[in-house]
Structure 1
Amino acid sequence: MSERAAKLAPAGAALVLAAALAVVIITTTPWHLIDLPKPDAALDFSAAEIDKQNQFRHELLPWSTVSWVLSLLVPLTIGFSPLGRRLYAVTRIRRWYLAVPVVVLALGLIASLITLPTDAMAERVTRKYGLSTEAWDLWLRDRLVNWLLLSLALVAISLGLIALAKRWKTWWWAPAAIACAVLVLGVSFAYPVIVEPRFNDFTSMPAGAQRDEFIQLAKQDGVPIKDVLVADASKRTTTLNAYVSGFGSTRRLVVYDTLLKDATPAQVRLVVAHELGHAAEDDVLHGTLVGALGSAFAIVLLRLLLGARVSDPRGTALLLALIVAGTTLASPVQNLVSRRIEARADYHSLQLTKDPTDFVEMQHELSVKNISGLEPSRWRYWLFANHPTPPERIAMGRAWAAEHGETVPPLVEK
């Protein structure tokens, strides 16, 4: 193939992948489900509940925001400055495939240590408000495990990219894009059985009326599930939650033990119906496929930005900095899509249970228990919110009720 074609191929691939990604996101995201009334927290949350949420955010957000900023500044500052190459030189390891893992682990460790004080202060706030029940040694252990898992993933990516770039100076990006997409698929499939057990123990829900109800609800919904798992979340938190992860043979419906303990059976049923909505729509598989496509696009962008320089292991810190920058820039789009998918799962829950009154009460109770943000600032909403706000979810319940000739009155009397 000609040199000109070799130069044009990455740009052409980037355009094709970008177009494919845009088409998939635009055509598969549930942009409109039902006309919603304007969300209004004052309709369903008392002044005391709103004040508590505001006070909690006032105390928590300074620490969590500083921690987030530091987690970005550390890799960006090191990666986009001579410090990155100096860090590689400090290792004094001749074999690049041994030096690269050391650099990756060191960068992650530096970032973790620098954010440790602000993360600890944020943890103190969650303890003060009764959301965290985690012992400090378990909290530190979780941070260590998270650092190791993330570092191992970045080590694998860095080694793979550098090795391919050394092997194929011009066309390394093509096999790298394919490999990265396959890696995303593999991680999503294996996550429930490899990563999740590192943080929680899972047991099958004991036989009984509630378990039978969940299995029957899944059958009614056309979603095959072999088991319902209970996570021992109470050793870390008092928040109430459930989720679906994995796909195919690793797909699992998981409920927190806190949810089973503190929510009413009707509320738990609605939460499970929401998670069944994710399974019915294959949201995990869909997100994985979009992620695979997005990762392939990111690899081609790396080729356009760095060219053959990816083969130089001394640029490992720069490579990591670009990964951090890319994931941060992509988060608003990811969160936008996630909010719409979560809204569809809410709608599915209403369609399956036909219980808008309990749905509204459930959203209120979960929000109060979890001290969820009711009206986040616009920039926080776009950058961090991957679920609709509680008032938006309650508006969904009222809209569904109105569409079916029902009325759900405000929970707060005026």
Structure 2
Amino acid sequence: MTIIVLLLLLDFALTTALSWLNLAYLRRRAAAPLPPEWAALLDTSRFPQMVAYREANTWLAQGARITDLAVTLGILLSGLLPGLARWAAALPAARVVQGLAVLAVLGAISYIAGLPWGLLSDFGVERKFGFSTITWKTWLSDQVKSLLLLLVLGVPLAGALLFLMERMGETWWLPAWGFVTLFQLLVAYLAPVVIFPLFNKFEPLQDEALREEIFALARKAGFPLGGVFQINASLRSTHSNAYFTGFGKSRRIALFDTLLEQLSHPQILAVLAHEIGHWKKRHILKGMVGGILLSGLGLAVVAWVLARPWLYTVMGMEDLYRAVGPVGPVAAVGLYVFGVVASPLGLLLAPIANGISRRREYEADAYSLELYDHPTALEEGLIRLT
């Protein structure tokens, strides 16, 4: 347990240090003279507000981190986990249901702990700086819909994993890997046509001239585009964005209505050319394949860890492990502890992931200029999105 606590404290210290170092760097850059090539593009009068916005979000994130650390340490050190597992194991239900009960309680604790910080972000910081337009009605509707999606998608996924753990022994991760992969592909296919429209209104792009320009750009790149839609993102925020989503017949471009108001046609086309660049350079495919391989590796490691008796000895539930095995409520506790430990270890991979991401962004920028040779429009569009 000492090692787990030290990992959590180290993760907290490093994340906090990086957050404040980033803020300090931003302050220095905002106070320094701009290079001539940037002076004509950036409105320096907005720099103080930009720094203030980042500082407010840094403090907000710090509060959320402190809360998360306190709650996690409380769960680990209070004896809640073994008590929760024993309570669930006594329920007159199948082991899978008992495991789901443990995950539901832990998930509820996490949700409640994070709720105040989400509210402070939406109705505090974002509103103070003129970004948030969300109403309490919309916020509550989002929470209910998110919970329903969790019940429809998350519970079956978790239940399937717990079922495979119980029936397949230590090799459960192999069929689980296949199931998770198919599940992710299905969600990626259905999300643009089923899930996303639950939260925003999607309608065909009303600007016919822009729509034709976008389709022409896609044809020039050989990009198979299923449709171009605009969404009422202004219902929640004035932030703007554009993204590709789905694959096959569900592949589409979604443009925030705020983007359509803030960017000109050339700027929008340049930004979309950048996004097409990710597809052209196979970044999306590489990311998908990499994600599938990493999920397989992750599940294999989880299977190995959950089968180790020392994990449950550390948690003070060795007796329950011997009586039940690494299934149901015991497996649910093991999954939680593994997730707690994996988060700090993931921080070690962040520099590699950031390096890959940055290189791919540069490649997409370069392709954007090949496809749509308007460098000024790309500069201005990306600056407005930042």
For residues 15-38 of structure 1, what are the alpha-carbon distances to aligned partners after superposition, in whole Å with 9 as ceiling and x for unaligned?
xxxxxxxxxxxxxxxxxxxxxxx9
2:91 aligned partner: 93
Contact 1:277 1:349 in 2 (8 A): yes
Aligned pair 1:82/2:79, yes or no? yes
> Is the aligned partner of 1:326 residue 2:345?
no
**Deviation at 1:64?**
2.5
Using the TM superposition, give the Cα deviation of residue 327 of structure 1 relative to its aligned residue in structure 2, in angstroms.
5.4
Specify the code of the residue in structure 2 equivalent to 1:323: G
Give the structure 2 partner of residue 341 of structure 1.
360
Report the count of equivalent residues. Answer: 330
Q: How does 1:11-90 map to 2 (within 5 A)?
A: 42-43=34-35, 44=38, 45-68=42-65, 70-71=67-68, 74=71, 78=75, 82-90=79-87
Amino acid at match of 1:254: A
Tell me whether 1:310 sits opposite 2:326 in the alignment: yes
In structure 2, how many angstroms separate the alpha carbons of the residues matched to 1:101 and 1:63? 31
Following superposition of structure 1 onto structure 2, how do residues 96-111 of structure 1 map, counting pairs within 5 Å?
96-111=95-110
Structure 1 residues 337 and 329, CA, compared in 2 at 3 Å: closer, same or farther? farther
Preserved contact between residue 108 and residue 151 of structure 1 (Cα < 8 Å): no
Distance in 2 (alpha carbons) for counterparts of 1:262 and 1:289: 35
Give structure 2 stretches of 5+ with no counterpart. Answer: 1-28, 309-324
| Structural RMSD (CA) | 2.9
Q: CA deviation at 1:340?
A: 3.0
| Cα 1:87–1:134 shift into 2, 3 Å | same
> Does 119-128 or 280-289 show the bigger shift?
280-289
Tell me the SS of whatever aligns to 2:169. Answer: coil
Structure 2 CA distance, aligned partners of 1:235 and 1:255? Answer: 14
Given that 1:79 and 1:318 are in contact with CA atoms closer than 8 Å, whether structure 2 keeps it comes out as no
* Native 8 Å contact 2:203 2:231 kept in 1: yes
1:72 positional shift? 6.1
Structure-2 separation of matches of 1:81 and 1:179: 35
User: Aligned residue for 1:397?
Assistant: none
Q: Residue type of the partner of 1:138?
A: T
**Amino acid paired to 2:116:** P
Report SS of the residue matched to 2:203.
Answer: strand
Q: What secondary structure sits across from 2:171 in the alignment?
A: coil
- Relative to structure 1, the CA distance from residue 336 to residue 188 in structure 2 (aligned partners, 3 Å threshold; closer, same or farther) is farther
Distance 1:216 1:298, change over 3 A: same
Q: Distance in 1 between matches of 2:291 and 2:340?
A: 15
Name the structure where helix makes up a greater proportion of residues. 2
Give the Å deviation of 1:240: 1.3
Partner of 2:162: 162
CA contact (8 A) 1:202 1:229 kept: yes
The equivalences for 1:118-129 within 5 A come to: 118-123=117-122, 124-129=124-129
On the 8 A contact 1:105/1:151 being kept in 2, the answer is no
What is the aligned partner in structure 2 of residue 113 from structure 1? 112
Question: Residue type matched to 1:204 in 2?
Answer: P
**Which residue of 2 is the match for residue 409 of structure 1?**
none
1:212-255 deviation per Cα after TM superposition (whole angstroms, max 9, x unaligned): 11111111111121321111111011111100112222211111
Change (3 A) 1:84 1:120: same
Q: For 1:349, what is the secondary structure of its paired residue?
A: helix
TM-score normalized by structure 1? 0.71
Partners of 2:46 and 2:117 in 1: CA distance: 26
Aligned to 1:231: 231
Amino acid corresponding to residue 45 of structure 2 in structure 1: A
Q: Give the corresponding residue for 1:376.
A: none
Q: Where does residue 204 of structure 1 map in the other structure?
A: 204
5+ long unaligned stretches in structure 1: 1-37, 368-414
The question of 1:149 aligning with 2:181 is answered no
Task: Measure how far apart 1:276 and its partner are.
Answer: 2.0
Contact 2:170 2:304 in 1 (8 A): no
Contact 1:185–1:288, Cα closer than 8 Å, also in 2: no
Cα displacement (A) at 1:76: 6.7
Is this contact kept in 2: 1:247–1:285, CA < 8 A? Answer: no
Shift of 1:293: 1.1
- Whether the 8 Å contact between 2:241 and 2:255 is mirrored in structure 1 is yes
Distance 1:198 1:340, change over 3 A: farther
